[in-house]
A and B are shown apart, each in its own frame.
Chain A
Amino acid sequence: DAKTTQPNSMESNEEEPVHLPCNHSTISGTDYIHWYRQLPSQGPEYVIHGLTSNVNNRMASLAIAEDRKSSTLILHRATLRDAAVYYCILRGNTGKLIFGQGTTLQVKP
């Protein structure tokens, strides 16, 4: 499975938008880009996924670069409850998710 690169940590102010970047330069044509987040003392939670087009759901938006070598998870208005580790994962034909270290997001009131 191809690898992703994310910043170790990011900070945001409450009620401001947050853009979490992810680089995946070795992505293959069949890899989907998945985002999960893990709140403290909980299992990971699905956030969003996409292949080529930008995606929106009730939790977030996913912006995918035209060459698919990078993507950005957008939280439109961060809340304190959004403080978590965010994982960007490429999911290929094997189906399993290979987690990296993720980005730890801190949200300041």
Chain B
Amino acid sequence: GAGVSQSPSNKVTEKGKDVELRCDPISGHTALYWYRQSLGQGLEFLIYFQGNSAPDKSGLPSDRFSAERTGGSVSTLTIQRTQQEDSAVYLCASSLEGQFPPLHFGNGTRLTVT
């Protein structure tokens, strides 16, 4: 079946512009996570959704970052007034409900801020 889908796969933007990154989770998965991975680094947690609500936003690095999820499905991560340090691969993952089910990751959106 279809896995987690992220779009676009690559995005180049100018410093100061806003960007929206999209994540389509696996159908039926109620939990959704956003991570980012800078070049050569490990994954950094950003935000977690259970359904449409976000009980854990602790990883969002600044108020320029926001995320929403509608209909318990698609999620968008928005970065306002992008900076060069925002350049990274942004990864989305989804999972079923329950006790620690595996996370299924998409292949990410590579964001480059010039």
Contact = CB atoms under 8 A, between A and B. Distances in A.
Interface of A: 32, 34, 36, 41-46, 49, 87, 91, 94-102
A94 B56 CA distance: 9
A106 to B, nearest CB: 16
A46 B107 contact: no
Given A43-B107, A43-B108, A95-B31, A49 B102 contact: yes
A9 to B, nearest CB: 13
A41, A43, A46 — most chain B CB neighbours (10 Å): A43
* Interface residues of B, dominant DSSP: strand
Given A99-B43, A101-B42, A44 B48 contact: no
Nearest to A92: B100
A85 to B, nearest CB: 8
B25 interface: no
A43 B100 contact: no
Contact of A95 (B100, B105, B106): B100
Contacts of B107: 41-43
A11 to B, nearest CB: 19
Contacts of B45: 96-99
A33 to B, nearest CB: 10
Nearest to B44: A99
A43 B42 contact: no
A99 to B, nearest CB: 4
B91 interface: yes
A87, A91, A97 — most chain B CB neighbours (10 Å): A97
B33 A96 contact: yes
Given A44-B105, A97-B103, 19 more contacts: A36-B103, A41-B107, A43-B91, A43-B108, A46-B103, A46-B104, A95-B31, A95-B48, A95-B100, A96-B33, A96-B45, A96-B56, A98-B45, A99-B35, A99-B42, A99-B43, A101-B41, A101-B42, A102-B42
Contacts of A101: 41-42
Interface in B3-48: 4, 31, 33, 35, 41-45, 48
